[in-house]
Amino acid sequence: MYYKGIYHNFYQYNPYCALWCWGDIVWGHSVSTDLVNWIQLEPVIEPDNPSDTDGCWTGSATILSGGQPVILYTGGSKDKCQVQNLVLPKNPSDPYLREWTKIGNNPVIQPVVPGLNRSQFRDPTTGWIGPDGLWRIAVGAQLKSYTAALLYKSEDFLSWTTVDHPLYSHNSSNMWECNMWECLDFFAVLPGNNSGLDMSAAILRGTKYALKMSVGYFDKYLIGVYDLKRDAFVPDTIVDDCRLWLKIDYGNFYASRSFVDSKKGRRIIWGWSKEADRHSDDVAKGWAGIHTIPRTIWLDSDGKQLLQWPVDEIESLRTNEINHQGLELNKGDLFEINGVDTFQADVEINFELTSIDDADPFDPSWLLDPDKHCCEAGASVHGGIGPFGLVILASNNMDEHTAVHFRVYKSQQKYMILMCSDLRRSSMRSGLCTPAYGGFFEFDLEKERKISLRTLIDRSAVESYGGGGRACITARVYPVFLAVDGKAHMYAFNNGSTTVRVPQLKAWTMRKAKVNVE
């Protein structure tokens, strides 16, 4: 949240070791004035009473009407029962909010809904005010054969009552569903408007809503409307198979949360990317996951999908710009990008198609498993239009490299772009998770023939944004030569039959941010 000129990032943290351990999880706390450089403060919530003795888990911060911040969080008890607790700042005038106090009547919400699995009831959302003046929150739950966002109301944010129907639920009885929805997020968006909307303010005409859930290994979302009379979220399109739901990020990215940045009038989201090496490596380096770069998030002008882009403040780390214009990539071309630190870089490249006639036909079944399709249609497999993109963190002989690339397909009425981040040859080390991540997005190639790619490289972290943020893929890579500070290569490439122009390619070395300094 943003409070009194300070950005606050609260996160689950084990102060005793790098690994997740039941009962040890506290709320870590870091603060920043620019979303880039962070100072670590002492933890704000620790397990010390029966309502959170098994750990202080995910929750949300809400700014009440008078400017008072509050936090709702899930506590775990020894009998595997999950409950929702509330804490208040000891000194609201302190912009750093160093100390918080648990209220005396915790837990404020218990799992008493009929049919509710008491051990699958967690992660309350940020609160919002409805037209009746009451506060609302949603909590993820497993309810009989359904996954649900249970809805609660309150006059004072202290005493909560259950609404007799969920904000939204989905039948999870088929084999493709994944348990319950974690880390729920519910927020308002306007098509084509990148402003951050206050959920408690008057609803503007044309407002849509996004319901985001962390499920399986991904953060997925639905776009729809909020029916105020029914107090229910109604998706624009009902899709039974959750494999077809859109994703916030198609890679190693989970448990994201968003907030309205009142300083700059935008909604910011960021998530957690777990390490993809061995537990022994986590212990050795002292952490088992990182936060991704904060992203501005908004709704596309057609109202169908969310767009994301790194916050502008990240550009303050750019230095040593290189610029190429008017490149042409024919089939098999490999253009080396020199002049930047390839271990810490920001690369922006536009690919312009010389023809769209050679696009291969699109098979809708690929949408069920785009990762599998990225494996079958890798960067070295020639196509009509594509693959084209970037090869990064490449060793001298290309034994190790990561490929981020596009392919263009023609569907009946539209063009579909496949974006892949292929880690299968990213490292020669054993015991790593090295998948090929992939996602599809629609693109109007008749109107706009340029497909953009921005990739941020921070040693083991690679975040890529395709098509102006229509598809995002976060990856974790651990090449052997990175550990010994060898030289990494970076290339723009094209392995498709159709020539691809690069009207502009920019890249910068990225300075190190100060993260969690004392």
- CA 58 to mean position of chain CA atoms: 15
Domain termination residue (choose one: 310, 335, 364): 310
Give residue 89's pLDDT: 98
Would 214 be classed as within a structural domain? yes
pLDDT in tens, 267-290: 999 999 999 999 999 999 888 999
Q: What DSSP character marks residue 281? A: H
- Tell me, yes or no, whether 423 and 372 share the same domain: yes
- Residue 177 confidence (pLDDT) above 60: no
Shared domain for 88 and 25, answered yes or no, is yes
Q: Which of 290, 305, 294 is nearest to 252 (CA)?
A: 290
Residues 336 and 401 both lie in one domain: yes
pLDDT in tens, 56-85: 999 999 999 889 999 999 999 878 899 999
201 backbone dihedrals φ, ψ, rounded to 5°: -85, 175
Is residue 391 located within the same domain as residue 344? yes
Domain CATH for 147:
2.115.10.20
Instruction: Verify cis geometry, omega within 30 degrees of 0, for the bond prior to 95.
Output: no
The answer for residues whose C-beta is within 8 angstroms of residue 62's C-beta and 6 or more apart is 69, 70, 71, 72, 126, 127, 157
Q: Residue 485: pLDDT above 70?
A: no
228-244 tens-digit pLDDT:
999 999 999 999 888 99
Percent of residues, the chain, with pLDDT higher than 70: 98
Does residue 101 sit within a domain? yes
Same domain, 183 and 44: yes
Residue 516, domain member (yes or no):
no
Same domain membership, residue 199 and residue 229: yes
For residues 298 and 346, state if they share a domain: no
Q: Which of 10-24, 104-118, 167-181, 381-395 has the lowest mean pLDDT?
A: 167-181
Cα angle, residue 168 at apex, residues 233 and 173 outer, rounded to 5°: 145
CA distances from 3 to 11, 34, 63, 250, 395 (A): 17, 13, 9, 31, 45
Mean pLDDT calculated for residue range 201-206:
86
Give the 3-state secondary structure of 424-470.
Answer: CCCCCCCCCCCCEEEEEEEECCCCCCEEEEEEEEECCEEEEEECCCC
Cβ-contact 455, 347 below 8 angstroms: yes
3-state secondary structure (DSSP) of residue 375: helix
Q: Determine the pLDDT at residue 518.
A: 62
- Which of residues 339 and 146 earns the better pLDDT score? 339
| Residue 35 identity (one-letter amino acid) | L
Question: Does residue 296 lie within any of the structural domains?
Answer: yes
d(CA 73, CA 63): 15
- Interacting residues of 496 by C-beta distance below 8 A, sequence separation 6+: 331, 358, 382, 383, 384, 385, 386, 387, 388, 407
> What angle is formed at CA 343 by the lines to CA 340 and CA 344, rounded to 5 degrees?
70
- Give the C-alpha separation, 180 to 138, whole Å: 13
**Do 296 and 353 sit in the same domain of this protein?**
no
Residue 362 has pLDDT above 90, yes or no: yes
For the chain, what is the mean pLDDT? 94
CA proximity to 518, closest of 44, 29, 40: 40
pLDDT digits (tens, 9 = 90+) for 392-443: 999 999 999 999 999 999 998 899 999 999 999 999 999 999 999 999 999 9
Domain assignment present for residue 337? The answer is yes
Cβ distance 234 to 357 under 8 Å?
Answer: no
The half-sphere exposure of 455 on its side-chain side, counting CA atoms within 13 A, is 30
> How much is the pLDDT for 105?
94
User: What is the count of structural domains for the chain?
Assistant: 2
Q: Which two tokens stand for residue 91?
A: 């000194």
185 shares a domain with 82: yes
Classify residue 55 as exposed, middle or buried by CB count within 10 Å of its CB (0-12, 13-18, 19+): buried
Mark whether 161 and 212 lie in a shared domain.
yes
SS3 337: coil
* 110 contacts: CB under 8 Å, gap ≥ 6: 81, 83, 84
For 308-333, write each residue's pLDDT tens digit: 999 999 999 999 999 999 999 999 99
Reported as a pLDDT band with limits 50, 70 and 90, residue 203 is: confident
Would 517 be classed as within a structural domain?
no
pLDDT-derived band at 86, boundaries 50, 70, 90: very high
Take residue 268 and report the two structure tokens written for it.
Answer: 């910011």
Looking at the chain, the whole-number percentage of residues with pLDDT higher than 90 is 87
- List residues bridging with 187 in a β-sheet: 210
486 dihedral zone (left: phi>0; alpha: psi -120 to 50; beta)? beta
* Domain range enclosing 125: 2-310
- pLDDT tens string 364-395: 999 999 999 999 999 999 999 999 999 999 99
- C-alpha span between 273 and 462 (Å, rounded): 10
Tell which of 310, 341, 376 closes a domain: 310
The answer to whether residue 460 is domain-embedded is: yes
Nearest-angstrom CA–CA distance, 469 and 474: 12
How many of the other CB atoms lie within 10 Å of CB of 365? 8
pLDDT of the residue at 175: 46
CATH code, domain with 457: 2.60.120.560
CA 306 from chain centre, in angstroms, equals: 11
Amino acid at 253: F
Mean pLDDT, residues 447-466 taken together: 95
Supply angle C-alpha 158, 102, 53, rounded to 5: 115
Q: Which of 310, 333, 362 is the last residue of a domain?
A: 310
338 lies in the same domain as 429: yes
Geometric angle at alpha carbon 264, from 250 and 441, rounded to 5°: 25
Tell me whether residue 518 is in a domain: no
Q: In sequence order, what are the beta bridge partners of 100?
A: 89
- Residue 257: what are its φ and ψ, rounded to 5°? -140, 150
In the predicted structure, residue 178 carries a pLDDT above the cut 70: no
> What pLDDT was estimated at residue 20?
83
328 and 255 co-located in one domain: no
pLDDT of residue 229: 92
**pLDDT tens digits, residue range 102-148?**
999 999 999 999 999 999 999 999 999 999 999 999 999 998 888 99
Cβ neighbours of residue 486 closer than 8 Å, sequence gap 6 or more: 395, 396
From residue 137, alpha-carbon distances to 82, 155, 250, 486 in Å are 16, 12, 27, 50
The neighbouring-strand residues paired with 224 are 209, 235
What is the rounded (10 degree) CA torsion for 480, 486, 489, 490?
70
The predicted structure's pLDDT at residue 174: 56
